[in-house]
Structure 1
């Protein structure tokens, strides 16, 4: 009987979602044997059970409440203990409490330099030749022909002309990214692109227009047959909006918006209005687009965007002068993108060897530039952890020691691409000791030649970009749009190899903290780092994560390969 009752209750559970209750009348009647009669009630037992339950309930509630309070206290205290421990180990108080700082957490590179400088001077090993730095070679595949000029998405049958206006912001290479994306988007939407407008930004403070940086006529002519570009809206379109761009419908598009978004949301509005304005436009188009649209990015970046005559003429002179001053090394030179300006040092929240004066100055710069951003509730700044994590800008001294360790000797010509170095006289002195043939745009150009560029950060950056592009070795020290675009451009020109040294800063800061390391051992580590940069320089990611670090601008092959073959640079 018990065996037959079990499936009956199970059936009731499945049908009603309840648990283990008796069946209804119809279910009972379907059983072949009657259910056993219920047991007689035992009132005394039930009453006793209820009393026990009532007595135990307050005790269990109080105990649970106490446990909960202890648990919550633990959750609050644990992070504080963790952060306090890190501060004690890593922070500036570690020396006071007797704790040994974590390896790499404290800037001691200046002490390391003083210790190893005699050994660096006495090093008579054979220096590395610039012509043989890069040993890894990429076997180039036969490139497919470029997509036809009419390969854009045909969303509907062609109708009246529609126009796309974009507002681009940021520095030189963020603007470059936005321009290339705008060309691709115009092709996607079958729109006529109006020459992009550059927004004035309080950080860069550069009022330059598109025509100040790039050759407008060359841009329009190169894209002709692919995307139509005009310098301004036609009069008849402007009349509809009272000759004010501000009256044109402005769309705010999500970052990295996919093709389906533009096809489903933006395209219908464009067809209705005849013109749309997207602001801001930085990173507003996904990297994953059809090949024909990706080709437009390549075409814009590597062929259509040519620096304006004032920039390209002076940049050409700087490259020629740099080559002449590198006669000791066959006209080849090393370029370094150094991010050790005071705003970069302040933003990184890293500490160097300037003591309390440096700390006070950096706090003042942070307050002036970013207000209370670094003082917000819950924000903890740990300079030592930033350094260990490789987030601190390398000093000129650290870059110099790294390069000497890699085998570059004091006859190597160096081009330094940088803004105004923080405490320049102090920080550049050791680099000049190690590499006396150090040049900048200021030292290569005359004051009269540079005068038209003063106060225009993007135009000055364009000069640096061109000289770095022509170097045999490029050294990046802090990341950002400049090195990402430059490495991609170098890959495009150098058969797929970036020819770029990318320091392993997490490893480097630990080595520069070790006062017991010999110059010989330090060199072995730096040579291994150079070999790794050589190996990674030719790698093409198998699966591209569509971000600015691994985009078509950083890794142009194979997407832009047809242009490479066309230009004869493969």
Structure 2
């Protein structure tokens, strides 16, 4: 009995501050910020969006002030877009103001402390899929101590299974706070209007398909198509260029046949077309294809265009002048198609 009491007291001493913090997080508004949280969202547009939602959840959990998320210049995407190029910054800040404080600039005191260089702020290495308790036990004390902390990269750095209150912050960010910037929304609305007009034969209805058959996707999948040795050589070069040795590590075995059996290979445009036909869409169906630069587009897109002559893309619905402002980074163009 004494042993049990001793163990219980030890457990309580170790976790009482965590329980107290969780109580205040759930039932009250914390009056003072724990510090400034800076995250770098990496990957493509969808990964960045997920990272932003996780960042809002973590900032709320830690009662931290979130610095407007930074987009990491990825070796694959080569995209220099900033948060405000893709999303409506002011709308994001206002939508979250009652739950999470978000700022566009760090205060002078913090900037001076780190010599006006964000990269000087200590980068806390957080493992992928870390639990809320990890952030409370490991990140929060350092955040309070230093006044600011950086987590880079921040892709998949919060566990999927989290308490309801943390998940609500994720949902608030995703469904309420994040909307595309006004230029993207305006162009996207014009493109939708044109797509509806071009689909008059079917009452303004059309099918939208997101093709993921860009070179990086094909290379990363480690699947084989019908390009033979030339394709293999191109994919080896693409993998080395973008991931520098990741696929040549000791013990790493590439098994294209197994990947295909396991359903891990991106669908070719032809396979997508066959799937649409199998669903009952005939050659009178208007189809909008959202995609990046398709791998060997001339070869692989031809069958899809033959199956669906009424096929449109952002390049056919918008003029070069309309698309020009978004060609600085690929995320802007992807956002136009995703809107």
Matched with 2:16 is none
**Is 1:200 the counterpart of 2:60 in the alignment?**
no
1:391/1:308 CA distance change after superposition, 3 Å: same
**Is 1:363 the counterpart of 2:236 in the alignment?**
yes
Give distance in 1, aligned partners of 2:268 and 2:243.
Answer: 23
State TM-score, norm by structure 1: 0.52
**Is 1:318 the counterpart of 2:228 in the alignment?**
no
Matched with 2:201 is 328
Matched with 2:12 is none
**Is 1:224 the counterpart of 2:97 in the alignment?**
yes
Could you tell me which runs of 5 or more consecutive residues in structure 1 were left unpaired when the two chains were aligned: 1-149, 467-570
After TM superposition, give the deviation of residue 455 of structure 1 in Å: 4.1
**Is 1:305 the counterpart of 2:178 in the alignment?**
yes
**Is 1:189 the counterpart of 2:78 in the alignment?**
no
**SS at 2:301 equivalent:** helix
After TM superposition, give the deviation of residue 423 of structure 1 in Å: 2.0
1:194/1:369 CA distance change after superposition, 3 Å: closer
Matched with 2:8 is none
Question: Does the CA contact (< 8 Å) of 1:153 and 1:187 recur in 2?
Answer: no
Give distance in 2, aligned partners of 1:347 and 1:272.
Answer: 41
Matched with 1:437 is 310
Give distance in 2, aligned partners of 1:247 and 1:369.
Answer: 27
Give the counterpart of 1:268 among 125, 133, 141: 141
**Is 1:451 the counterpart of 2:338 in the alignment?**
no
1:237/1:336 CA distance change after superposition, 3 Å: same
Q: Deviations over 1:294-314 (max 9, x none)?
A: 211111111111111121111
Question: Does the CA contact (< 8 Å) of 2:289 and 2:312 recur in 1?
Answer: yes
Question: Does the CA contact (< 8 Å) of 2:80 and 2:328 recur in 1?
Answer: no
Q: Deviations over 1:33-89 (max 9, x none)?
A: xxxxxxxxxxxxxxxxxxxxxxxxxxxxxxxxxxxxxxxxxxxxxxxxxxxxxxxxx
CA RMSD of aligned residues (A): 2.3
Q: How does 1:497-536 map to 2 (within 5 A)?
A: none
1:433/1:269 CA distance change after superposition, 3 Å: same
**Is 1:278 the counterpart of 2:143 in the alignment?**
no
After TM superposition, give the deviation of residue 153 of structure 1 in Å: 4.0
Matched with 1:387 is 260
1:377/1:239 CA distance change after superposition, 3 Å: closer
After TM superposition, give the deviation of residue 176 of structure 1 in Å: 0.8
1:318/1:151 CA distance change after superposition, 3 Å: farther
Matched with 2:224 is 351
Give distance in 2, aligned partners of 1:374 and 1:183.
Answer: 33
1:364/1:241 CA distance change after superposition, 3 Å: closer
State TM-score, norm by structure 2: 0.86
**Is 1:215 the counterpart of 2:77 in the alignment?**
no
**Is 1:169 the counterpart of 2:42 in the alignment?**
yes
Question: Does the CA contact (< 8 Å) of 1:153 and 1:190 recur in 2?
Answer: no
**SS at 1:390 equivalent:** coil
After TM superposition, give the deviation of residue 396 of structure 1 in Å: 1.2
Give distance in 2, aligned partners of 1:345 and 1:160.
Answer: 45
After TM superposition, give the deviation of residue 316 of structure 1 in Å: 1.1
